[in-house]
A and B are shown apart, each in its own frame.
Chain A
Amino acid sequence: MAKVLHPFAGFRPATVIETPRFFGQNTQTGTKGTSVIELENVAYSYGGGELFSELNLTLAPGSFHFLTGPSGAGKTTLLKLCYGELIATSGQVRLFGADARAMDRDGIAMARQRIGVVHQDCQFLDHLPLAENVALPLSVAGRLSEAAGNLGDLLAWVGLSEQAAQLPPQLSGGERQRAALARAVIMSPDVIIADEPTGNIDWEMSQRLLTLLVELNRMGKAVLVATHDMNLIRAAKAQVQARVLRLKGRRLQAAGADL
């Protein structure tokens, strides 16, 4: 099993731990060598107006994309299209090769089990302890017993072992973001989608979260991050080959160094 540096090596006593065992255990196949999420000539209209159109995007396994753009350009909407919460007005969104429009509700739910989502306003079940919140995807997938042993490793990996029994309202902003990331990756998803994951936390914590995302990307996960934070993008590009996309004027463009 591969050894990786603890992503919080500068935050906690320096140590070397194993990558949580469940990473790479996702047995669902069919995406290797192909795109995990693909948008083709997608348009989305809202409230009578077209938010964007003719939008094309391919997330391949192991790819890392940043999505930028002005507020209201439709970044969050685009992410929602990527994990099936919204259906495109026209064009085709393929989740793991299947047309999202043709998928039934159970199909969308199954696809979401392969997509880890992190929101800026991390939402949890406030009446459950952190550990149970992080394990919620396992519970939903009926895999709680087989993977529960790995929960401790994951919480240690994101530096939240001591907060395992705390309720979400008792956590700080940074702890909530790390908990959301832990929940997003516990099923060893094929793709991680993060919407402004560093919006509510300081720079130091942003760096730690970025390190986590980079580590996950190195494990082969596709990563798509919507952010305004150009410093975060620059920091990421120093560590990983990331593409930057800009959503502007109802179109998706390559931006920055990708121009």
Chain B
Amino acid sequence: MLGLLRLLALLTGDPQADRAVPPTGFTARLTLFTAGAMAFLAVFALALSLATGRLADRWSAELARTSTLRISAPADQMAAQTAAAVKVLETTPGVASARPLTDDEQKALLEPWFGPDLPVETLPIPRLIEIVEDGDGYDAAGLRARLQAEVPGAVLDDHTRWREPLVAAANRLRMLGFSAIVLIAASTAAMITLAAQAALAANAQVIKVMRLVGARDTYIAGAFVRRFTLRALTGAAVGTLAGIVAILLLPRADAAGGFLTGLGFQGTGWLWPLVIPPLAAVTAFFATRAAALRTLREQS
């Protein structure tokens, strides 16, 4: 809180102090470029985090709401066992609906692996029953016990073994995105610290004169901090804008595109990139302030 108040005071600070430090082209350009490039990358890292977050939530929700019953039985018993299984499922609390897939639906599922001409009806393919759960879901262990007794060829797949690694992978991708943002912020701080130190070293004479006339360290540092904070804010704003434009230019999400074309922002998620420029400014503020005060201590 104190830091934010300082930041606000700084941005509305003493223009006369600002004038005391001469414009430094090299560090100005370095800070602008660094802040812009890092903000551009941060937009993508943010988009990655949000997209993987959405993916994890969707996979988790969709897979948690459905399960599959697979019935393997001799051909002459297949219909009877399927009907028995459906009967069991319909009387199971937590099951909203149970529907055997048609031959065409099963063929469509196998088509990516075996091609479109697969004679499903001539092959001993298990019958699949799609189970849709209601709000509370069902007792998987109890259902398995009932099926074992009444439909010996039935195997219940509640998608747990698929869902957990997928959701874990998506969550790790989300963490990777957030880690990238943290690394970007740290790199920004490091680059701005170096630029600030270079500016302080280049202005040793200015600092000497200001000290001679009674300037306190906070006054001298303030002149540098204000300049670097505004540069970082400007550079990050440009970088963020460029990042948003780049995201907008990505191909639209479609069924075939999968995850990569879904990279981007949705709804209020578009507001998140707006956080990046102020975050860059806050990072620059603290990085420059720490560097300036440390350098001033060392120079005395």
Using a CB–CB distance below 8 Å, which chain A residues touch chain B? 85, 105-106, 109-115, 117, 119, 123-128, 132, 136-137, 139-142, 144, 183, 187
Q: Is B247 an interface residue (CB 8 A)?
A: no
Q: Is B159 an interface residue (CB 8 A)?
A: no
Closest chain B CB from A251 CB (angstroms): 28
Q: Are B20 and A128 closer than 8 Å at their CB atoms?
A: yes
- Starting from the known contacts A105-B300, A140-B213, 18 additional A-B residue pairs (CB-CB under 8 Å) come to A105-B216, A105-B217, A106-B217, A109-B214, A111-B214, A113-B214, A114-B214, A119-B212, A125-B22, A125-B206, A136-B209, A137-B213, A139-B17, A140-B210, A140-B215, A141-B214, A144-B16, A187-B214
Q: Are A112 and B213 closer than 8 Å at their CB atoms?
A: yes
Using a CB–CB distance below 8 Å, which chain B residues touch chain A? 14, 16-17, 19-20, 22-23, 205-206, 208-219, 297, 300
User: A110 CA to B211 CA in the complex, in Å?
Assistant: 10
Closest chain B CB from A162 CB (angstroms): 22
User: A224 CA to B112 CA in the complex, in Å?
Assistant: 95
In the assembled complex, 12 residue pairs joining A and B whose CB atoms fall closer than 8 Å, in A order, are A105-B217, A106-B216, A106-B218, A109-B216, A112-B213, A125-B209, A136-B20, A139-B17, A139-B20, A140-B219, A141-B214, A142-B14
| Contact among A112, A115, A119, A128 with B19 in the assembled complex (CB-CB below 8 Å) | A128
Closest chain B CB from A117 CB (angstroms): 6
Q: Which residue among A110, A112, A136 has the maximum number of chain B CB atoms within 10 Å of its CB?
A: A136
Cβ of A142: which chain B residues have Cβ within 8 Å of it?
Answer: 14
Main SS at interface, chain B: helix
Closest chain B CB from A36 CB (angstroms): 15
| Contact among A85, A112, A117, A139 with B16 in the assembled complex (CB-CB below 8 Å) | A139
Closest chain A CB from B57 CB (angstroms): 53
Closest chain A CB from B288 CB (angstroms): 19
Q: Are B215 and A109 closer than 8 Å at their CB atoms?
A: yes
CB nearest neighbor in A for B216:
A109
User: A127 CA to B219 CA in the complex, in Å?
Assistant: 19
Q: State the 9 A-B residue pairs at the shortest beta-carbon distance, nearest first.
A: A113-B214, A112-B214, A127-B22, A137-B213, A109-B216, A140-B215, A139-B16, A106-B216, A123-B209
Q: Are B211 and A123 closer than 8 Å at their CB atoms?
A: no
CB nearest neighbor in B for A117:
B212
Q: Which residue among A113, A117, A139, A187 has the maximum number of chain B CB atoms within 10 Å of its CB?
A: A139
Q: Are A136 and B300 closer than 8 Å at their CB atoms?
A: no
* Known contacts A125-B22, A139-B17, A140-B219, A110 near B214 by CB under 8 Å: yes
User: A126 CA to B20 CA in the complex, in Å?
Assistant: 10
Closest chain B CB from A119 CB (angstroms): 8
User: A85 CA to B210 CA in the complex, in Å?
Assistant: 13
Cβ of A136: which chain B residues have Cβ within 8 Å of it?
Answer: 20, 209-210, 213
User: A112 CA to B209 CA in the complex, in Å?
Assistant: 12
Closest chain A CB from B44 CB (angstroms): 40
CB nearest neighbor in A for B297:
A105
Closest chain A CB from B122 CB (angstroms): 90
| Contact among B14, B206, B211 with A112 in the assembled complex (CB-CB below 8 Å) | B211
Cβ of B16: which chain A residues have Cβ within 8 Å of it?
Answer: 139, 144
CB nearest neighbor in A for B208:
A123
Cβ of A140: which chain B residues have Cβ within 8 Å of it?
Answer: 17, 210, 213-216, 219
CB nearest neighbor in B for A106:
B216
User: A132 CA to B209 CA in the complex, in Å?
Assistant: 13
User: A118 CA to B179 CA in the complex, in Å?
Assistant: 54
Q: Are A183 and B19 closer than 8 Å at their CB atoms?
A: no
Closest chain A CB from B9 CB (angstroms): 13
Closest chain A CB from B47 CB (angstroms): 43
Q: Are B214 and A125 closer than 8 Å at their CB atoms?
A: no
